[in-house]
Structure 1
Amino acid sequence: MWARISPLMPADPVRGRRWADHRRTLEAIAWKYRTGAPWRDLPEELGSFRTAHKRLLRWAVDGTWAKVFAAVLAEADAEGDIGWTVSVDSTVCRAHQHAAGARRTGPPVGAEPGDHALGRSRGGLSTKVHLASDGNARPLAVVVTVGQAGDAPAFTAVMAAIRVPRAGAGRPRTRPEAVLADRAYSSRAIRAHLSGRGVRAVIPQPADQVRHRLRRGSHGGRPPGFDPDTYKERNAVERCIARLKQWRGLAMRTDKLAITYLAALHLAAMLIWIRR
């Protein structure tokens, strides 16, 4: 695995101190999120927890984690190993009390949202992870929002996050062959968005939309196309969510900043693809 990851890591800076060993730092970050342990409980053989945490944040701010994840996807696409029948869904991740308390004023940190992707509802603090997976239950795109956010409003952001670079010349691939989603994504806006891009939508209609269309009679229009056999493949995104939530530090968020939590999600997604 390291032989495949090593060429994707940033080179040492031209000036100043050299980076601490990339492999040990990466193992330290992965250990922290796999176990869900506090940073200060990092084993001594994995180095200083301050080094690992600073590296995670620095590479989150400059977009390194997202670039490495994109490079892994590009390698898989060059080998024809991405299933472009894409499934979309979301999952709510409870937030630990340590995730609260980040500053809401001062200079912005990278692309950090003002709400830090933390919402408060009856269950307490939570974050919602929206993701798209390929046909083999591997993540293609990840977006985080507040826990009480709806699924449909984040759909276009998830679609925009699907960008798989080409191995050679050409624009990144952004258009799936088909998108599978549950009834929460059944809206005219989403269907029009996919139709405008030439993507087949496999989304069932909820009962209230069916009743409303039938009540209008001939003015209700034709029912949208739906392929029940293809829809059976939507379990891929559920299995993808289960894979990510095997990482205890992702199943329960302890990060104060949304960009560090998203960086950890990219790291887990990258390792899922490298194990393919």
Structure 2
Amino acid sequence: MSDAPLDAPVTSEFDRDTAVRPREQGVLEAQLSPGWAIGRALNGGYLLSVLGRALRESLPHPDPFAISAHYLTASVAGPAEIRTEPVRTGRTVSTVSTASAALVQRDAEGNEIERVRALATYGDLDALTGEVRTGAKPPAMPPPEHCFSASDAPSGGVPVPEMSHRLDLRLDPETCGWALGEPSGRGEIRAWLSLADGREPDPLSLLMAVDALPPTGFDLGLTGWLPTVEMSVHVRARPAPGPLRVSLTTRNLATGFLEEDGEIWDSADRLVAQSRQLARA
């Protein structure tokens, strides 16, 4: 469970917009914000953070270790209901909790529509111990001040989504040729990422961060947004304060679908989250 009371003052836009309130056992309410929209629909990473917060409030362990979500229909701003169901709950330090969650909204006629269905495993990141053996290395990128932000976008280019105003996003110049009509074809996007209001990253915001960059399909020459079909995230460590480095790659676009693999590195050069999503081209 979260240590903060539900009526505690909320100073962060992200915390306010992902807030949930229990209504009854296994049912929580949320007010989805239009500030995280990509066009008419809400961003999949933002929705995952809302589900992640609801699961944290419903389980004895505080941190998402792994979460996989299927996006069934496009979510819109407004009231939503999250229904959680524990699958397995452990008590020892080495044991984790697993639960499912469904995000539901109602249409103008009052009909119930399921938007997202997720399965997650939670634990305590601070209780993890053991040495790190990895061949992964943080991406080489120019410092943030030498990268491109939304304010540098040429007029008449790709429209800036509403969600971008919630973020301080600095794109690596080597991976944003698509913004000038010159995609590289490599399927790579890299950027520095922080929340615009200065809130430091944590495990819940990592669930949003994996889906916060422009899609790699842009670097393959695709136009328009690419709706997420399924997304899985592994949170590996609690991130250190400071901006995140996010790297996204796509290796295979086929039969109208592409995969997008993501890595998030914190300011201490640790790989704190990994993701894979399937999107429709």
How would you bin the TM-score normalised by the shorter chain?
under 0.3
Which protein has the bigger strand share? 2
Greater RCO (Cα-Cα under 8 Å, separation 6 or more): 1
Query: Which is higher, the Rg of structure 1 or of structure 2?
Result: 1
Which protein has the bigger helix share? 1
